[in-house]
Every structure is written in structure tokens, then in C-alpha cells.
Structure 1
């Protein structure tokens, strides 16, 4: 009798695990819908067998993007992306958080922007943090793989202690909070994903514009996940689901900071804390502390 009860319990646990896995897979498959996102421009939604794939198209007439209808105050946000193959110079592909349009004093933003490349050159990933309309905190990296050959996962973790940027399982940057320095803590943010013409800026500081003979340009997104807190109103703490402490208290470990150092040493192409021309009056406060 005890053996039978044990077998039954094992069977029930196996079913429960299977149901949980199927639920997760279903959520991944159906991540893109009109209840979750507002869309703009030319977007195609397909299914590659593992779930939905949203493809953004850029041509001479229009770029494209999708934007979360929900705003968040802290969270872990990730998505898989396959970038433009071949010559993508002049294009900008993004995955970022923003409190709203414009660059005014009420604007916060956390950016992962991929600047298109001429064939054979590395794709540059630009990471940046804006607080109260002030950006200029870029770390740029030459990606060490071909981001158009397959999907890779890009993650932003935003909590009261730091902002962490990840590529696949590697930590590449941590923007630490200091009590006396600006940090995004009060403005809820939407999730944005866009593809647009950045000829004036993207490739070699605008030296190489888009070659439209290679268009339309296509970027594909899948596997989106937002494990985040919802704002409840001014002066009230955000509403967070059970388990949010997994990322809410997250800071890089010593081993993870080693990958940050590796990315900086081997692949960083721009560091605002080393750009004396840009800051003739002195570097931002965090530069001397990190």
C-alpha cells in the first residue's frame, strides 16, 4: 500500500511538472498579442515551431516597433533577437525601457541598442542609462559573435541597487546606484523594441548611411519575458509577484563581475568615463567609484 501511494505521488508530481512546463511553453509561444503590445510600422508575426516570432521591417517609407501597454517599476526583462544579416550599416535595432517620449527632465530610459555594421565589421551594442533627461552614460561593445546567424538572449535587470545588462548568460555591465547620484527610481517604464533609420548616428558616427538596395531590413524577436513589478500610484510601493526577490535583490557576484571585466577589456569600444573631450568640466560622479 505504501509503495502504491509513493508511485501515485510520484505520478502526480510528474504531471504537475509537465503542466507547469507546458504553461511556460504556451506563454512563450503566445507572448505577442494586442493586449500586451501596441505596434507601429510593418510587423510580421510567424511561428517557428518553438513559439511566436515578431519580425520588424525597415524600408524607405517606415521603420517598425512594438511597445508594452503595461508600465513597470523595476523588473527583469529579456528577449531573444536575430539581427539583420549582411550589410546593415545605418540601421538601429533596440530593446529598451523608457518612461515616455522626449528627452525632458521627466524622462528616464535604459537602453540596449544595436548599431548596424558594414559587412565584415562587428555589430556594436550600445548600452545607456538616462535619468531625468540626462543620458551620456554609454558603454559600447563590439559583439564577439554574429548576432544575425541565430537568436541570442538580451536581458536588462533593473532594481533599486543596480542596472545589469546581459548577453546570453554573460554579465557585461552593471550600473550601480549611489545614494547621492541620479538613478531611475520613481518613473515607471514601458518596454520598447524598434528598428529604425539611424544613418545620421549609428555606423562610424554617421559616416556610413543605409544602403537601401539591401532592404527591406528585417530583425526578428521571440521569447519575450517581463518578470516585473507594476506601479500602484505615487507614494505607494509597486505590486510585485511572488519570487520577485530573485531579481529585486540581484547584484553581480564576484564571478559575474569577472565577465564584466572581460567584456570591458576585450570588447568595449567606447566608455563615457574615458571621454575627456565630452566632459571637460570633469567626469560624472560614478566614474571615479566603479
Structure 2
């Protein structure tokens, strides 16, 4: 390879990497361990070693919308590691929607844990395995949130739905703007077989790779109470004609289609391995949202 061609090639590679970084930097920023966040062409990678994990956060907060991450999870022996993709508000009474991908020993399936916090209270865990190898290729993981439901989706297949049943006295996460976050960290005190299998640092660094990150939501600006109240009203309004702008409020987004309902039934029948609603040892009295 000639020196001039090599110079052009390196310049192009640097330009592509800069474009990827620019796209990422438009919506997200490092929340910790900047040196463990890697821009590799059009990809973004989080790295975990025995010094640190890493994480990033959206620059803005949103009230309703959809957040999606295309990810390829840690390959090989990933026991003890957790990759999280989630939305969360702030404070002790925060709301939160979690995807947590629990690593495992080589050959064992990843478990995906979802959880929902409302007014600071979680304990709504569900765990499932997947119908594909999440380390072999990129797959999309999304959280759809509107005033009627919260839907967790894997490759656009619904895997969990939390409906708004406030009229029945069941809490629903509304009116708290949320940021979008992702992180990779060591959780070998609980993540793999209840903490019995520890992280093998000889396999480090562990890497989760992101092919795309998208947030399409009602962006909330202004931290002052009056401004925030006005923004919440704007994002919660449902004036005629607004659905085109805030598509997640469209009537077809307010509940699952028949096809999506069948997909959800299939996921629960074939892949659900734990549901807090069925755990009578933890909840002798079934939680209110599990009543039907």
C-alpha cells in the first residue's frame, strides 16, 4: 500500500469515526468512564475490565415516546456482567423502565430481566430467555411509553406490557420526564445464578457494541418548576392533529394489535422463566397490577 493511499485511507477512517461520534454526541454523552467508551467507525462500544465499566446518558429528558438501542451483547463467558438499557427520571420517587441483560457462562443463554419502578418502588421483575443468540448479531431493544401503556419490545416483538389502570387504583408512571441510559458493569454478586458464578477477569475486556441509538419522544426542557409543569402539560396534551407530531399518541399505539397480542402470548409461553406476579413467596398478596 502506497504512503499516499494509506494517508487517504486513514483520513477516511477518521472521518467515518468522527461522523459516528457526532451522531452519538447529538443525543448522548458519557455519564462515567469516558475512557471505556469507544467509537469504532459507525459503532459505539462500552468496555468493562477489572478497573471500570462504563455508561452514557441522553442529553435530554422526554415525556412519552420510544427509545431504541441496537446492541450486540458481550460474547463468550459473560458471567457476572450486566448490560442495561433503560429510561429513568430522578429523585427518590423516580420512575424507571429497565432492560437488564444478565451474562452467563459460555454456552448458557443470556437472561433478559425487565423491571418497572413507579414512585421509587420496583420489585416488578420478569426474566426471559431469547429466541436468538444476542451476542452473534445486532438486535433492537425498545421501550415505548405513552399515556396508555409501557411496552418492552425485542426486534419489534412485544415481550412485556404494563397498562395504565389508574382508574382501578393501580399506579402508572406518568408526568415524570425521563432520560435514556445504557451501561455495562460488574454485578457478579447477583447477576449470574444468583451470584454463585463470578466474573472471570481473564476474559476481560468485556464489550457491548451499539449499532444504532434512537430516541423519538416529547423532549422536555427547563428545570424550573413552572417551566417543567408547562412542558408536562404540552407533552400530555391531546389536541386534534397532534398525533402526527407525537405519533406514539396515535390510537393504534394505545394498545397492542391482534398480531402483537399473539406475539406476546408466544413469548410468555415459550420464553418467560420468572414473573414476580406468580411469586407467592415474595408476594403472598398479589400486587394490584397483577390482578387480571
Relative to the length of structure 1, the TM-score reads 0.83
Alignment partners' CA distance in 1, 2:82 and 2:245: 32
Shift of 1:278: 0.6
- 5+ unaligned residues in a row in structure 1: which ranges? 1-26
Cα deviation, 1:123-174, whole Å, max 9, x if unaligned, reads: 0111111001111111111112110101001110011100011111311111
Alignment partners' CA distance in 2, 1:172 and 1:203: 21
Cα deviation, 1:235-269, whole Å, max 9, x if unaligned, reads: 54235987344322412111101111111110001
What residue in structure 2 maps to residue 175 of structure 1? 162
Cα deviation, 1:206-242, whole Å, max 9, x if unaligned, reads: 1111111111100011211111002351254235987
What residue in structure 2 maps to residue 138 of structure 1? 125
Q: Aligned to 1:71, which of 61, 65, 89? A: 61
Q: Secondary structure at the match of 2:264?
A: helix
What residue in structure 2 maps to residue 4 of structure 1? none
What residue in structure 1 maps to residue 287 of structure 2? 284
Moved over 6 A (4+): none
Q: Quote the RMSD (CA, aligned, Å).
A: 1.9
Aligned length: 255
Shift of 1:191: 0.4
Q: Aligned to 1:262, which of 246, 252, 266? A: 266
Relative to the length of structure 2, the TM-score reads 0.82
Alignment partners' CA distance in 2, 1:58 and 1:172: 28
What residue in structure 2 maps to residue 20 of structure 1? none
For the pair 1:191 / 2:180, whether they are aligned, the reply is: yes
Shift of 1:79: 1.2
Alignment partners' CA distance in 2, 1:40 and 1:267: 33
Shift of 1:29: 8.3
- 5+ unaligned residues in a row in structure 2: which ranges? 1-18, 221-226, 237-241
What residue in structure 2 maps to residue 93 of structure 1? 83
What residue in structure 2 maps to residue 275 of structure 1? 279
Say whether the 8 Å CA contact 2:46–2:184 is kept in structure 1: yes
